């Protein structure tokens, strides 16, 4: 116990030394809540869509989404829904989320030759870009490269910008701040097999935007229109804002996020300076709750949660890229304060009839379109911000009736002798649930696909599959609501495994000793997939802290396991089965926070 406490305090001291600062309200518990709710909402939204030809945009009062056709060449929001689905696949590498994401990504391929809009980045990079990042599939990459060339076709060499659009006859060659976000498609393509000129186009556009759309004090116009023949400025204004000289909040958020992104790709100090300039102005004007009015200069009190979400995500990245220590801390603190407000009941849609994640977004107030609603793009950047805060907080896996949905990818590197450890909590008194494993090349379609299986059986105790039947050396009963630590020693070359279970507060008990892999199961060269399956009801048990390590690993002490279990309860993982699902290996910081909270609680008892 003393050794564990000493280790915890050392890690705590290191974390405080490296990144400690005042604002740390948003935490892993909040991240769990957001991701869990996102899984519920996006699953419902996918089911509510008539098919994959349309994507959600804004919420209606009746709790449904307005939708946009994926073939619409001028609309700009179609990439956010598949992008959000890919983000949820990122969380736990569950094939079911990959399947959903791919279903809404592929219909957008028709947009790859669309030369009518500057918004191909929003459409294609958030869908196909996330897809390629997470799968490495060359199909997605090729679509992106074609899309980048289509966007590049709108580059005006005289002015040095991506011409935003053709639909407004009052404009000649317009620039809008939104385009800063679409530059990522060009920058990525240039670094992944596309022309080097694509990067030059992006940098030129960013510099022209800085010169002409960003005011000396760091505030911004939404658009700048140029004369096609001479390149001279015809007009400036805020098309979706309050007045010509006002600062539209979401347009300014695009600048903060956009310059941060361009700096990430280029390392150009001018981009860092631009990001600082527009960010510092924003932070000097945003209210104390960190959610701006829809336009900083507009009368009234109407806020825009989508602008806040975009900025929160940008600030988390900017705080990582920033070279000045004081700014690094200030930007991260501002991001966390923003997320803390967005996850509060004032903005978080949980408990309402909204199909989205965030309330009180504003699309186009001057046109009276999408005012005080949930917006699919606000939700996307909110989820992006949460995953930037911590890509791997202790997201739990929940049991599924479907074999396909029960799967979690573990990768192909877990070969030889491996130790698996996890905590399992039955959330219903009656269980018929299994945690099983197979090769990365095997898709789990039935129990015969699983080489190794640990079960909570209908008789009320743990047992293990041994060749052709289940058996247990010693019966360890399970109790609803209690957390049990399971350790598996898997010898893949020998096709045998041993299993230990430790009840809460008790000692580890061996229930299987070199049991034989399932008879008739497919060949196995690695521990590449896990299945969390139930025969009774979705989410009737959960798995937390799943880890796979090389070689023989002794089980952690009773004290530390109980600490993790207590901390899991403090995170509210079992409050509502099905609210938060998926997996992730605990980060060092996550482990430290969990253990420290538990030890503090233990001292108070």
Task: Provide the pLDDT confidence category of residue 518 given band limits of 50, 70 and 90.
Answer: very high
**SS3 for 464?**
strand
Question: 581 CB contacts (<8 Å, ≥6 apart)?
Answer: 36, 39, 92, 395, 396, 397, 398, 539
The pLDDT value recorded for residue 553 is: 61
Please check the confidence at residue 133 and state whether its pLDDT lies above 90. yes
User: Across the strands, what pairs with 454?
Assistant: 435, 464
Q: How far apart are CA 547 and CA 549, in angstroms?
A: 7
Q: How far apart are CA 541 and CA 422, in angstroms?
A: 13
Average pLDDT, integer, range 221-236: 97
The pLDDT value recorded for residue 7 is: 36
CB of 570 within 8 A of CB of 475? no
> What are 354-397's pLDDT values in tens digits?
999 999 999 999 999 999 999 999 999 999 999 999 887 778 89
3-state helix, strand and coil shares in percent for the chain, rounded to the nearest 5? 40, 20, 40
The label of the residue with tokens 């196995």 reads 524
User: Across the strands, what pairs with 516?
Assistant: 496
User: Across the strands, what pairs with 452?
Assistant: 437
CB of 182 within 8 A of CB of 121? yes
Q: What percent of the chain has pLDDT over 70?
A: 87
**Strand (E) or helix (H) holding 523:** none
Q: Which of 436, 474, 439, 440 is nearest to 455 (CA)?
A: 436
Instruction: Compare 120 and 581 and report the one with higher pLDDT.
Output: 120
Q: Which of 252, 540, 577, 583 is nearest to 396 (CA)?
A: 583
Average pLDDT, integer, range 273-301: 98
Q: How far apart are CA 338 and CA 388, in angstroms?
A: 14
> What are 28-39's pLDDT values in tens digits?
899 999 999 999
Phi, psi of 467 (to 5 degrees): 60, -100
The pLDDT value recorded for residue 554 is: 53
Average pLDDT, integer, range 505-519: 97
Q: How far apart are CA 444 and CA 522, in angstroms?
A: 10
Please check the confidence at residue 267 and state whether its pLDDT lies above 90. yes
Please check the confidence at residue 591 and state whether its pLDDT lies above 60. no
Range of lowest pLDDT (22-26, 283-287, 326-330, 413-417)? 22-26
> What are 47-58's pLDDT values in tens digits?
999 899 999 999
**SS3 for 30?**
helix
Joined tokens for residue 32: 């769990």
Instruction: Compare 391 and 447 and report the one with higher pLDDT.
Output: 447
Question: 158 CB contacts (<8 Å, ≥6 apart)?
Answer: 228, 231
The pLDDT value recorded for residue 355 is: 98
**SS3 for 421?**
strand
Question: 51 CB contacts (<8 Å, ≥6 apart)?
Answer: none
Mean pLDDT (the chain) is: 89
**SS3 for 582?**
coil
Instruction: Compare 29 and 511 and report the one with higher pLDDT.
Output: 511
Q: How far apart are CA 60 and CA 69, in angstroms?
A: 17
Q: How far apart are CA 253 and CA 249, in angstroms?
A: 6
Task: Provide the pLDDT confidence category of residue 460 given band limits of 50, 70 and 90.
Answer: very high
Does the CA dihedral 437-440-443-448 come out positive or negative? negative
CA 236 to chain centre: 36
> Torsion angle of alpha carbons 338, 344, 345, 346, nearest 10°?
-20
Residues marked active site are found at 119, 178
Strands of 207-309 (E only): list them: 223-226, 233-237
Joined tokens for residue 216: 């000396």
Tell me the longest C-alpha to C-alpha distance in the chain. Answer: 85
Joined tokens for residue 604: 């108070």
Joined tokens for residue 356: 């989205």
Indicate the DSSP class of residue 395.
P
Q: Which of 157, 126, 32 is nearest to 574 (CA)?
A: 32
**SS3 for 391?**
coil
> What are 544-590's pLDDT values in tens digits?
999 999 988 654 433 333 333 333 333 233 333 232 333 333 333 33
The label of the residue with tokens 């407000």 reads 341
Please check the confidence at residue 185 and state whether its pLDDT lies above 60. yes
Strands of 413-557 (E only): list them: 417-426, 433-438, 452-456, 462-466, 469-471, 484-491, 496-502, 509-516, 529-534, 541-550
Q: How far apart are CA 106 and CA 96, in angstroms?
A: 16
**SS3 for 287?**
coil
Average pLDDT, integer, range 263-273: 98
What is the radius of gyration, based on Cα positions, of the chain?
26
């Amino acid at each position: 116990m003393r050794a564990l406490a000493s280790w915890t305090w050392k890690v705590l001291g290191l974390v405080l030394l490296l990144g400690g600062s005042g604002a740390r309200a948003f935490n892993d518990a909040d991240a769990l809540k957001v991701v869990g709710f996102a899984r519920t909402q996006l699953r419902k939204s996918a089911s509510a869509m008539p098919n994959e030809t349309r994507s959600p945009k804004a919420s209606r009062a009746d709790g449904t989404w307005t939708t946009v056709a994926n073939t619409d060449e001028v609309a700009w929001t179609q990439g956010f829904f598949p992008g959000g689905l890919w983000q949820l696949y990122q969380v736990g590498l569950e094939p079911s989320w990959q399947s959903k994401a791919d279903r809404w990504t592929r219909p957008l391929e028709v947009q790859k030759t669309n030369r009518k809009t500057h918004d191909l980045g929003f459409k294609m990079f958030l869908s196909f870009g996330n897809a390629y990042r997470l799968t490495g599939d060359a199909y997605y990459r090729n679509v992106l490269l074609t899309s980048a060339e289509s966007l590049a076709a709108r580059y005006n060499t005289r002015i040095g910008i991506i011409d935003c659009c053709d639909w407004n006859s009052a404009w000649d060659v317009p620039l809008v701040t939104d385009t800063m976000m679409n530059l990522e498609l060009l920058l990525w393509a240039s670094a992944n097999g596309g022309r080097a000129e694509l990067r030059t186009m992006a940098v030129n556009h960013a510099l022209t935007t800085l010169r002409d759309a960003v005011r000396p004090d760091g505030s911004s116009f939404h658009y700048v229109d140029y004369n096609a023949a001479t390149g001279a400025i015809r007009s400036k204004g805020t098309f979706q804002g309050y007045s010509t000289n006002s600062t539209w909040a979401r347009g300014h958020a695009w600048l903060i996020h956009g310059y941060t992104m361009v700096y990430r790709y280029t390392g150009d100090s001018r981009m860092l300076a631009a990001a600082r300039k527009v960010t510092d102005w924003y932070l000097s004007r945003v209210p104390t709750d960190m959610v701006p009015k829809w336009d900083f200069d507009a009368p009234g009190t109407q806020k825009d949660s989508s602008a806040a979400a975009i900025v929160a995500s940008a600030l988390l990245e900017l705080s990582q890229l920033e070279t000045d220590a004081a700014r690094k801390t200030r930007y991260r603190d501002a991001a966390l304060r923003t997320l803390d407000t967005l996850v509060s009941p004032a903005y978080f849609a949980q408990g309402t009839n909204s199909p989205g994640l965030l309330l009180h977004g504003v699309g186009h107030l001057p046109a009276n379109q999408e005012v005080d609603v949930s917006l699919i793009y606000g939700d996307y950047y909110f989820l992006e911000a949460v995953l930037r805060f911590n890509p791997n907080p202790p997201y739990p896996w929940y049991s599924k009736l479907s074999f396909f949905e029960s799967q979690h990818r573990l990768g192909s590197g877990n070969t030889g002798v491996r130790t698996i450890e996890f905590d399992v909590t039955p959330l219903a008194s009656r269980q018929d649930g299994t945690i099983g494993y197979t090769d990365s090349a095997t898709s789990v379609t039935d129990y015969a696909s699983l080489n190794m299986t640990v079960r909570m059986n209908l008789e009320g105790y743990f047992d293990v599959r041994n060749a052709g039947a289940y058996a247990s050396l010693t019966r360890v009963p399970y109790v609803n609501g209690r957390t049990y630590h399971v350790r598996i020693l898997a010898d893949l070359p020998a096709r045998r495994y041993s299993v230990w279970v430790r009840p809460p507060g008790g000692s580890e008990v061996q229930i299987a000793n070199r049991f034989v892999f399932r008879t008739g199961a497919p060949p196995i060269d690695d521990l590449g997939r896990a299945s969390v399956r139930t025969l009774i009801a979705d989410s009737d048990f959960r798995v937390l802290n799943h880890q796979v390590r090389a070689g023989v690993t002794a089980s952690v002490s009773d004290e530390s396991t109980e600490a993790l279990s207590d901390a899991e309860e403090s995170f509210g993982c079992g409050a509502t089965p099905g609210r938060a699902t998926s997996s992730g290996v605990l980060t060092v910081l996550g482990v430290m926070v969990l253990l420290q909270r538990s030890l503090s609680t233990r001292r108070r008892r």
